[in-house]
């Protein structure tokens, strides 16, 4: 069974640009969560999608947005990039959003560098 | 508000010795608790979880964790550490009424030969 796939793995952008990251969950998983990982702030929850609906949202500015498609694939977008947005962005999938006992399965992340 | 704390940034142990990585949590109600491991430039891998039942949970790669409700702790343990266990370990908590999983700051485990 294929794992969670994130693309691109690495990317470099400049301040003010925007970026779109993609995540394909494990087959059959309908919940996709996004996290930002930085050395200073650790792992911070961005948002979670289930059946194309945003179910939870972390404490990030509106420049961070996401969506989920009918095939459960998800994208997140960051507009007007700032230097502080440089981070590893991790996507995780799980089978049910109401199955809160379930663990998350993580992709290998997209490492964004903002210059 | 739910939160999880990992009081040690770094844990060093010698190969073959037992290891403990500490985690305490604060959440209303009964929590669901998880441990994950992250190797360099990789995503997080699930190790084990506590949902209910036996306070001692066994997981992958010989790891186990003990849930202690009175101390609100969920420490990760392994009887005999391997050099290959060296990695970043995250404790996570999810309240039983919300799908928002929150992670601790992580503990870097170094096992020396």
pLDDT digits (tens, 9 = 90+) for B88-99: 999 999 876 666
To the nearest whole Å, the CA of B47 is away from the closest chain A CA by: 9
- For residue B51, give every residue at least 6 positions away whose Cβ sits within 8 Å of its Cβ, in sequence order, or none: A101, B32
- Top pLDDT among A89 and B54 is at A89
Is the Cβ–Cβ distance between B38 and B44 less than 8 Å? yes
Residue B102 has pLDDT above 80, yes or no: yes
**Closest to A101 (Cβ–Cβ): which among B42, B51, B90?**
B51
Give per-residue pLDDT as tens, A84-105.
Answer: 999 999 999 988 654 567 788 9
Residue A74 burial by Cβ neighbours in a 10 Å radius (0-12, 13-18, 19+): buried
B95 chain-A contacts, CB cut-off 8 A: 100
Using 50, 70 and 90 to split pLDDT, how confident is the model at B28?
Answer: confident
A33: Cα within 13 Å, side-chain hemisphere:
26
Binding-face residues of B in 27-66 toward A, CB within 8 A: 32, 34, 36, 41-46, 49, 51
The chain-wide mean pLDDT, for chain B, equals 92
């Amino acid at each position: 069974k294929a794992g969670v796939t994130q693309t691109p793995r690495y990317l470099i952008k400049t301040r003010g640009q925007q970026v779109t990251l993609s995540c394909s969950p494990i087959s059959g998983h309908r919940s996709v969560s996004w996290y930002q990982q930085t050395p200073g702030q650790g792992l911070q929850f961005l948002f979670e999608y289930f059946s194309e609906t945003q179910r939870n949202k972390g404490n990030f500015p509106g420049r961070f947005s996401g969506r989920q498609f009918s095939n459960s694939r998800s994208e997140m977008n960051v507009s007007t990039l700032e230097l502080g947005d440089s981070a590893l962005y991790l996507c995780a999938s799980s089978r049910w959003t109401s199955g809160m006992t379930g663990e998350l399965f993580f992709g290998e992340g997209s490492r964004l560098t903002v210059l | 508000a739910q939160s999880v704390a990992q009081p040690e940034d770094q844990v060093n142990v010698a190969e073959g010795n037992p290891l403990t990585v500490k985690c305490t949590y604060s959440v209303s109600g009964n929590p669901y608790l998880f441990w994950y491991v992250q190797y360099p430039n990789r995503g997080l891998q699930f190790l084990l979880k506590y949902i209910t039942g036996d306070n001692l949970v066994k997981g992958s790669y010989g790891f186990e964790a003990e849930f202690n409700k009175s101390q609100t702790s969920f420490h990760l343990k392994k009887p005999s550490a391997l050099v290959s266990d060296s990695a970043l370990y995250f404790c996570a908590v999810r309240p039983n009424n919300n799908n928002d999983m929150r992670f601790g700051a992580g503990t870097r485990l170094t096992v020396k030969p």
